[in-house]
Amino acid sequence: MVVLDKGNIIPYLRERYPAFDTSGQVSVSAIGDDAEDSQGLINYVFRVRNETGSLILKQAREHMRLDDDVEASGASYCPPQDRNYSEYLSMKLRRAIAPDCVPEVYDADRDNHVFLMEDVDYLRPARAQLSQGVMIDGFAERVARFLCDSHFYTTEFYLDTETFRELGRRFVSTGMRAIMENWLFLRDTPTHQCPALTRHFLPHIFAEDVVVQSHILRHKYMSSTQAFIHSDVHTSNIFADGSQIKVIDMEYTFAGPVAYDLGYFLASLVSQYCSAVFRPFPSEGERRDFKGYILACVHALADDYRRRFAEHWDGEAKAVYRACPGFRDAFLAELIPDAAGFAAMPMFTLCVSSFGFTQEFEVIEDQGRKLHALQLYCALGRRFLLGRARIRTPGDLVRTVLEGERDYLRCVR
């Protein structure tokens, strides 16, 4: 395997992808060197720019990039390198379903675990924008549409049963699933790897009731095969402006529960809300407006998704399913409580991860206020997980956030 770097990428492209013109002025930059929102934990990612355009080259790392403390602990993370080709195929599949929401993919090199894709630098990562208080028009509605369409059209409700099963066999993703199954649901992180700021969270996150419910959701994540899920959809993996989104990083794709994607994205919206409660704003009016915007996003995500899925079912599901609207209603009724439970998993993991806090928390320079934002986030995770049976509607999601904020502020003031 050739490990690509800034020095050998241009010769590689000349040989592998001559459609990209390298005859003139060409520059290569490693994304993560100076990018505002790219960690590169399991991939090498490069931007290659010629005189007329640019592309992204992504190569799978053999090992996950770890910080010194994690390496010293002896932890081992070896995501399978063939995930790269699966991601290439996943992006092609989803682009066929939602072409305006997925970057174009150009080529794949299975031997060297490389693929080439459209550069979406004309957009900015949603997390970076939200962390600066930017309210992206129609953001949650477009994400809901992307998730709903890419889910519904890969369900057995729509596909021929054998086609659905064949896709399931193609996107098994055993090694990538194991990362989520253990790291996210079990939070398999020794105490000494937890950031000092949040170490006192551990008794709450590893309380018996939380552990039991986490195992229940982990089993559902492992055993449900409703549709092909992204499995890592959050605001860093969505580039956006006021009229469009582009969703990236699809290497965790496999057949799983659709509520998981909803919950994972919900968690990244709630993190923005918790940050906004405590981070500086130019005025209290702007803080209030931004918090209201995030709550509207939470509501729209669940409401638009559920309504659109029902419309797809009624108009395009196989006859055997259209003939049973009660099954449709029962299926949709479990989406929001399951999404609330799944949301808690990344909420807990972020608080104790050795990989660091996400941008919306890091913009809070005052350590006391950052701690409050993270404590609120963890407390809301417990409410979502342990109270999910009572969270049945989009309005219930919003109410849970507001009640959690109110109760937390009463305790600390």
Is the CATH number 3.40.30.10 carried by domain 1-119? no
Distance CA 351, CA 91 (A): 30
> Which secondary-structure segment (H or E) carries 129?
helix 126-131
Delimit the domains of the chain by residue range.
1-119, 122-412
Distance CA 332, CA 144 (A): 14
Distance CA 1, CA 254 (A): 26
Fold equal for 1-119 and 122-412: no
**Model confidence at 34: pLDDT above 80:** no
**Average per-residue pLDDT for the chain:** 91
**Model confidence at 252: pLDDT above 50:** yes
Task: Give the pLDDT confidence of 68-114 residue by residue, as tens digits.
Answer: 444 444 445 566 767 888 899 999 999 999 999 999 999 999 999 99
Is the CATH number 1.10.10.10 carried by domain 122-412? no
Write down the pLDDT at residue 38.
39
Half-sphere exposure of 283 (CA within 13 A, CB side): 3
